[in-house]
Amino acid sequence: MTAAAVIAHPEGLAARRALRAARIRGVVFAALGLISFYFAASALETAALFSFWIDKQGGQSAQLQTSVGALWIVAGVASGVVGILQLVRGAAFPWRRWLFIVFPPYIAVTIAALLNGTAANLTGVISGSLVLAAPITLGALAGILSERSGMLNIALEGKMLAGACVASIVASVVLNTFNVSPSDPGYGTAALVGAMAGIAAAMLTGALMGLLLAWLGIRHKVDQIIAGTVINIGAVGITNFLFLRVLGRNTELNTPPTIEPLRLPLLADIPVLGPIFFSTKPYVYVAIIFVIILTYLLFRTRWGLRLRASGEKPAAAGTVGINVLAIRYRALLLAGLLAGLAGSYLSLSAAGSFQMGMSAGKGFIALAAMIFGAWHPIGALGAALVFGFADQAQSLLSILGVQVPPQLLNSVPYIVTIIVVAGVVGRVRGPASAGMPYEQG
């Protein structure tokens, strides 16, 4: 094939590249599987002890006992099977989904190998990952909505930060109007009303910022990355300003009710699983519900099809009569609601008050989760779990008694993000027209 032919058929070139990448991936998975068996041979005698709280944190615990070698075998089989499937089915193989099968055994075996025969309780680590994955998932969903409609959403970070600030202020003010102290019988209701008001205000803030982003990008054709940067820097400036000028002197404006874990009736009583999945913070339930709703809306409804068409080929969508710009405005409005909700988690649930710069890159991590999840809600949830787990590395390693400098641990989520967006584990194609202005006739 000559160079000219390659340029004339870029699709053919891309297909060959994809096939080569698929082969490399298959060989890597298969090799990983074989190496795992090698490790298994020397570790069959080492016990792997995991324990989990049965009903609640600090109560009775159940212990799972196997050997490190057995775990290596499980991991090796999983990786080997996926590698063979990948090699047989070529580029069309949806390997990303199969990572859900490959990752967990390797994580388990790594922990077990580090434990080296001693027992550790994992309920806290797993439920902690889940809780941290919630805001990242919500942010990633916001990113998916906007990018699928054709708008880049770098501004997630700023929306989350502003959402956190507004949520704390509004929730504090509403709680204060009830004039109850934590010991009063009516405090629970007042706290609930305050928290709900705070969340609503945060979502509204996010939505308004989303509309501003859309207006700058669509009406004024500002480069969407620059528009997003405007919002990010502006959010840092205004929230720091408010914190220093207003909240510092009036601390009663920054003492919101906190959102505590919610026990789901019946489900929370399931042994082992209950404490992990069903008595966790409400944000986890909300995030999972939104993942399901958005998956349905995006891929099973007319609205979703139109939204995706606007992001892939707006000209074609416009030709068949779809109002592309209206779809983009609405998508950014909805995305802003979700980003604001994610922001409210930071102040109302994670920290208990607003702090300067508390988003600390979570908006960008959410974008990375969106990319790693291939712009699909379920994929984003999976990716968010990886980030949640990376963030739990600190507490995990302290359980394991491994000495690692805290600066290195603090960097882990950021390093993982870079690895993910660099596509070291495989590149995906995003919506074709995301970031391009569209001229509607």
Partner 1 sequence: MNRLQSLARRSLLPILAVVTALLLGAVVIVITDFENLSKLGSDPIAALGGALAGVGRGYGAMLSGAFGDPGRIVTALQSGNEKDIATAIRPLTETLVASTPLIFTGLAVAISFRAGMFNIGGDGQLIVGALGATTTAIALQGVAPAAVILVAAIVVGTIFGGAWGFVPGFLKARTGAHEVITTIMLNYIAAQVVLFALRGDFLRQPGGGQPISKVMTTFVDVPGILPLPGIRLDFGFVVALVMAVVASFFLFRTTKGFELRSAGFNLTAARYAGMSAGGSIMLAMFLSGALAGMGGSFMVIGTVGQLSNDLSGGIGFNAIALALLAGLRPTGVVLAALLFGALTTGGKLMGIQSGIPFDLLFFIQALVIMFVAAPGLVRTIYRIKPPKPEAEVAA
Return the number of the residue (111 or 144) whose C-beta is nearest partner 1: 144
Instruction: Say if CB 311 and CB 433 are below 8 A apart.
Output: yes
* Window contacting partner 1 (CB under 8 A); options: 71-79, 202-210, 215-223, 375-383: 215-223
Cα separation, 33 vs 204, whole angstroms: 49
**400: which residues sit within 8 A by CB, 6+ positions away?**
111, 114, 115, 120
Q: Is 134 in the site for partner 1 (CB under 8 A)?
A: no
Q: Give the number of residues in contact with partner 1, rule: CB under 8 A.
A: 46
Cα separation, 219 vs 226, whole angstroms: 14
Cα separation, 286 vs 275, whole angstroms: 17
Q: Is 436 in the site for partner 1 (CB under 8 A)?
A: no
Which parts of 141-200 interact with partner 1 (CB under 8 A)? Answer: 154, 157
* Window contacting partner 1 (CB under 8 A); options: 11-19, 103-111, 245-253, 382-390: 245-253
| Residue from 14, 423, 432, 439 in contact with partner 1 (CB under 8 A) | 423
Strands (E), 45-165: 47-53, 61-67, 119-121
CB contact burial 332-352 (16+ within 10 A = b; e otherwise): bbbbbbbbbbbbbbbbbbbee
Cα separation, 288 vs 185, whole angstroms: 32
C-beta neighbour count of 145 within 10 angstroms: 29
* Window contacting partner 1 (CB under 8 A); options: 51-59, 175-183, 217-225, 258-266: 217-225
Q: Is 234 in the site for partner 1 (CB under 8 A)?
A: yes
* Window contacting partner 1 (CB under 8 A); options: 126-134, 165-173, 193-201, 408-416: 408-416
Q: Where are the alpha helices (DSSP H) in 243-376?
A: 273, 282-300, 302-312, 314-319, 324-344, 362-372
Return the number of the residue (282 or 361) whose C-beta is nearest partner 1: 361
| Residue from 50, 52, 277, 364 in contact with partner 1 (CB under 8 A) | 364
Q: Is 244 in the site for partner 1 (CB under 8 A)?
A: yes
Cα separation, 430 vs 263, whole angstroms: 38
Q: Is 18 in the site for partner 1 (CB under 8 A)?
A: no
The alpha carbon torsion through 360, 362, 364, 365 (nearest 10 deg) reads 130
Q: Report in angstroms how near the CB of residue 425 gets to partner 1 at its nearest.
A: 11
Q: Which neighbouring-strand residues pair with 210?
A: none
Structure tokens given for 27: 């060989």
| Residue from 42, 65, 118, 250 in contact with partner 1 (CB under 8 A) | 250
Q: Report in angstroms how near the CB of residue 222 gets to partner 1 at its nearest.
A: 4
| Residue from 42, 116, 398, 410 in contact with partner 1 (CB under 8 A) | 410
Return the number of the residue (143 or 275) whose C-beta is nearest partner 1: 143
| Residue from 165, 216, 335, 385 in contact with partner 1 (CB under 8 A) | 216
| Chain residues that interact with partner 1, rule: CB under 8 A | 154, 157, 216, 219-220, 222-223, 225-227, 229-234, 236-238, 240-242, 244-246, 250, 360-361, 364, 367-368, 371, 405, 407-408, 410-411, 414-415, 417-418, 421-424, 427
